[in-house]
Chain A
Amino acid sequence: MTGYIVRRLLTTIPVLLGITFIVFAMVSLAPGDAISLMLGSETANVANVERLRRELGLDLPWYEQYLRYMKGLLTGDMGRSITYKRPVVDMIRERFNNTLILAASSTLFALVISLPLGIAAAYQRRSWIDYGASTLAMLGVSLPSFYLGLLLIIVFGLNLGWLPIRGMASRSASLGTYIRHLILPSVTLGSGLAGILTRLTRSSVLEALSQDYVRTARAKGVGERKVLYKHALRNALLPVTTTFGLQFGGLLGGAAIIETIFSWPGVGMLAVNAVKQRDIPLIQGTTLVFALGFVLVTLVVDILYVAIDPRIRYE
């Protein structure tokens, strides 16, 4: 198992290298750059902008810029933001925990909603619970998150005034305030995942319940509760876990939009700013963080497999 984890961690290196290359090439070849944006302002200090362009090597062909960037990266230097003139690593460090907190609470929300709902829907198939769960799941999957976000802000923030409409509570705030600030963004970000997982849990549990081993268990006189939780659910969770791992990437991507709507000071909001400003070092840095997050979660999911299904061995 340890060998497997080490091997998996090693394979992330070429993946991350590939991502840096693809992102760098895409941003460099796409129209628009940070220097043009600076020069586009009528008040620009043209001489200083040109000097900045030379200093940062932005006048070099993009592949040379990439090599310069990679050289820095290998020595642990993620470069400086062109627009904000600060070290990228500092800017990400300030925000990383915030994104992690949002992602974790959205995941928690998705799991807390989807697992019980999916199981109940499967167990009470074609009942009102089933139909209700399916409708909710459909809504969760199909409502665009930026729309749902604004809708929740208007209803719960403005009209009812129950929850704050923006931002993260400061560090000195009480836990209650902290959680109140977390609710709307987490629900918005987690609703898509909750929808997908509800549907998947329902179908997997349904499938498991029709398997021979469940019939056998019931024939042996095992109680319904035990049949459901011990026999059916454990098998049903395997596909749910896989999907969860894959969807987590989507969750991180969605964070970019949700963080902007809810003024959540995370890496996603920073990434949106970086793209708007064509700030290549900052785009690279934020993308790398997301990629790394995705790769690590997939790894964790693969390891969880073993715990869920003892037949699986990574040797």
Chain B
Amino acid sequence: MSRRLLLAVVATLLVSLVALPATGVMQSPQKGGILRIAATTIQQLDPYKTAANDETNVIGLVFDPLVIIGKDGFEAKPHLAESWERPDDYTWIFHLRKGVYFQEGNAVFPKGARREVTADDVVYSINRFMNVSTAFTIGEVDEVKALDRYTVQITTPVPNPFLVDDPNRLASVGIVPKEAVEKLGEDGFAMNPIGSGPFILKSFAPDQSVVLERNPDYWLPVYLDGVEFVVIPDPTVQTMALTAGEVDVVPYIFNVDAMATLSRNPRLQMLSRGGSYRGIGFNVTTPPFDEFAVRDAISKAVDIDAAFNAVVAPHGERAYGQCPPWVPHGYDPSLKEIWKYDPKEAVEILNAAGFRDTNGDGILDRNGQPLKVEIKTTPGSQIRVLTILATQLRQIGIDASVLQQDVAVWADDVINGNTGVFFDLSFAGATGLHSLFHSSVIGMTNGHYYSNPEVDSLLDQALSTTDPEAIASNWKQAQRKIMEDRAALPLYFEWAYAIVSDKVHDFVPAWGGLHLVSLENNVWLSR
């Protein structure tokens, strides 16, 4: 060893010795404690009847899904299924973990009468999920069948490449015991859920609290004594409660405005995972937005970078397409090249399309009609971004404004095509591009009313193969085509944050359900 190297090693050792106690790294997990999580509303706990994040969080602790989405990257990891294979494009085979039991000490499984989770439960659960859930779908399925006590086979009419990796598909299906649903009834089960998860429901008062206690028989060690979900409907009060130490976790902060104050608090950890796509959508059937020139001109008239930097950065990333970085296919920063900020050219395009300020009011018009852009949006931090963009549109003579709507009204307008320009939001699961732009879902999730046979075909091809390369290539081509058509103007991806007290360890923000105990993490509290 050379002298220099020896010196370097000694120096490094010394530095680590000094640094270790100060930063307190590598504390060993402690057992005990109740983790208190803030929730906005909790009305029922049937895992298949929910669309609400907070209910999904509780459900993720009481029930075990076959797979959960891994904490690094966004790929499925084993949970109740120890492994799986795909003998062909249409068949999935899952091998279940042995020795996992439904929770006991309840009306269905009395103490000492626990029952093992088997393939029949998985078959029953997936079928019930497909039949009951309005919020999620696992895609088309021909048959779910038990090959033996611990093996389940799912066959699909077309390849279902996202079955395990999409957080909203199999990862969302907690396995339920048939006899519990039958014995307690649909309504009873929604109030007294029984699963095989790491926590057992102790008490549930809707819109007040959910108290869970450790499942002593769980197949993994559980450090926490229990978990309490504390209902606090007002987001401002949620962050106040976190600051005051009344809760340990606020699982979702969707509003970046709140981040500024929270990030200054040294006793809080800001954990980010995934987020949402935010853009401007055009209803391409509403005049004058049915004209490519108008949409193109609008895209060139706005300085999105400036608005993004002023409002969102550092809590997001500029978007040039709809596919976010956390979706394993389709993220394409090279799309940047198709967008340009050039207000001069925007005016020229509009002039060429026949828009001129004929009456001297400063607003471009055509055939006596002023060029009007009313951006319909839900409340949120995007309003400030949209306001900046609308101001820029006004500067080139477009009568632009932002109309803030109640979420229900906005959704109704977007779905029914009662829009010209609207705030485009997607939580950007694996198939978000399909939901927003495929012609088969016009008037449902496709509020752009965008219909392009070429794009449809590319998306269909992507959804009917299991080859990741082919999926990514088709997805990217479709996305490029949609963006070149200016059906939407991507603005940014906004990170979603969970804010967690510094005494909480190993917390992984929810992605397809909250998991405090898994093969990858095990949450514990320091005293």
Contacts and interface: CB of A to CB of B under 8 A. Distances in A.
A94 B427 CA distance: 33
B187 A86 contact: yes
B230 interface: yes
Interface stretch (A123-131, A210-218, A227-235, A262-270): A262-270
A148 interface: no
A36 B41 contact: no
Contacts of B11: none
Contact of A45 (B135, B233, B407, B408): B135
A32 B207 contact: no
Given A90-B187, A263-B234, A265-B205, A276 B407 contact: yes
Which of B233, B413, B429 lies at the interface centre, i.e. has the most chain A CB atoms within 10 A of its CB? B233
A269 B444 contact: no
Contact of A153 (B205, B209, B237, B444): B237
B136 interface: yes
Contacts of A272: 233
B206 A165 contact: no
Nearest to A98: B208
Contact of A84 (B43, B237, B445): B43
B240 A33 contact: no
Contacts of A166: 230, 232, 237, 241, 246
A260 B411 CA distance: 23
Contacts of A49: 134
Contact of B412 (A36, A270, A273, A277): A36
Contacts of B237: 150, 153, 165-166, 261-263
Interface in A22-68: 31-34, 36-49, 52
A180 interface: no
Contacts of A269: 207, 233
Nearest to A46: B444
B133 interface: yes
A84 to B, nearest CB: 4
Instruction: Give the size range of A's interface with the partner.
Output: 35 or more
Given A45-B135, A166-B230, A265-B208, A39 B444 contact: yes
A158 interface: yes
B234 A86 contact: no
A36 B240 CA distance: 33
Given A44-B445, A81-B43, 9 more contacts: A36-B411, A37-B411, A40-B410, A42-B429, A43-B427, A45-B136, A260-B234, A269-B233, A276-B406
Interface of B: 41, 43-44, 46, 49, 51, 131-137, 168, 187, 190, 205-209, 230-234, 236-237, 240-241, 243-244, 246, 406-416, 426-427, 429, 431-432, 435-436, 441, 444-445
Interface of A: 31-34, 36-49, 52, 81, 83-87, 90-91, 94-95, 150, 153-154, 157-158, 161, 164-168, 170, 260-263, 265, 269-270, 272-273, 276-278
